[in-house]
Amino acid sequence: MEAAKKLAGPVVLKAQVLVGGRGLAGGIKFGEDSEEVGKLASQVLDTPVKDERPSALLVEQRLEVTRELYAGVTYDYRQKRPVVLASSRGGVDIETVARENPADMAETRIDPFKGFNCYQARELAAEIQLTGNELVQYSNILSALWNVFRKHDAELVEANPLAVLPEGKLVALDAKMSLDDKSVARQSSMLNRIGRIPPSQTEGLEARRARAKELGIPTYIEMQGNMGIVADGAGSGMLTLDLVTDYGGKTRVYCEMGGETTAELMENTLLAALAVKDLRVVLINLIGGLNLMDEMAKGITSYLRKHPTKVPIIVRMSGTNQDEGRRILTAGGIRWFDSLDEAVEKAVGVSRGH
């Protein structure tokens, strides 16, 4: 490869995908020369990372690293404020460090009115046992990450791993930035400067998000479970997610349709939800106020006529025109419940193979 020849030495190949976890999935390889790099490049491009197939490769000089650190800024939704994270262990998920080696990390929550100050950055660096020039470099990096996080409406900005080289220099071997989707209009000038992979050229999460948006679905979120959750409002949706967790279930994809839902949107939402692999069940929670339950039932049965699926669909239906809606579901062989607790209990049982 030309890039490897120009670098003239050991290189690292990194799959360019829109998800994390490349290393564990085989999306990062090390090569000694251009001939070996050519073979490794084919392997990396043919290896999906969390069902995202790489569309490009980044080839960089391989650096000698003495140890790896972590630095990041994210948002604590429970306390409703940003949090700056530091760790003496890099190259792995910070959640794993917090769970398995909590003594190796430090954090501080930020008052959004006061911001993140230099002395706080130095304190965090000292807490993870950095001293001297390394402490100064690390605290400057934390401050830079905070400025990016604040300026660009980010949900996450991190350098991981943040490598310490033999001469003591700190270099970010990888970095990630996740923006709040609702801030796109505010950040359009920045986004226009960034070369982006069109979602149509991907096969994973970003393609599914883009498709959901095209289908008119207001909220589309993927998680790590095996259940699909569809709700017709924010309140009913949050309640459903909480109950699923209370009953021991885990959500894989969550779709919220909004307050004025049509049969077409109901059908489109199932199309988006069932595009996700490894679903064992889909639970639909419908409370008819503005939404008409007969229209919702027509949307569900229309989807199943066009796209027969082996994934069970369980519906909780209550509200306007519920009798007609339930009649339509029954005629279509779809099980419905009046009680949300009963529907959730049943769906969670199916997801766990009961």
In CATH, what number is assigned to the domain containing residue 11?
A: 3.30.1490.20
**How many Cβ atoms sit within 10 Å of the Cβ of residue 103?**
8
Higher pLDDT, 249 or 31: 249
- Does residue 198 lie in a domain region? no
- Does residue 339 lie in a domain region? yes
Q: What is the CATH number of the domain that holds 119?
A: 3.30.470.20
Higher pLDDT, 97 or 3: 97
pLDDT of residue 193: 66
pLDDT of residue 115: 93
pLDDT of residue 229: 97
- Once rounded to an integer, what is the mean pLDDT over residues 179-184? 77
Band the pLDDT of 7: cuts 50, 70, 90.
low
Same-domain pairing of 48 and 71: no
pLDDT of residue 201: 47
pLDDT of residue 18: 72
Domain that holds residue 151: 67-191
Number of domains into which the chain is organized: 3
- Does residue 241 lie in a domain region? yes
Q: Both ends of the chain: CA-CA distance in Å?
A: 53
Q: Is the pLDDT at 189 greater than 60, yes or no?
A: yes
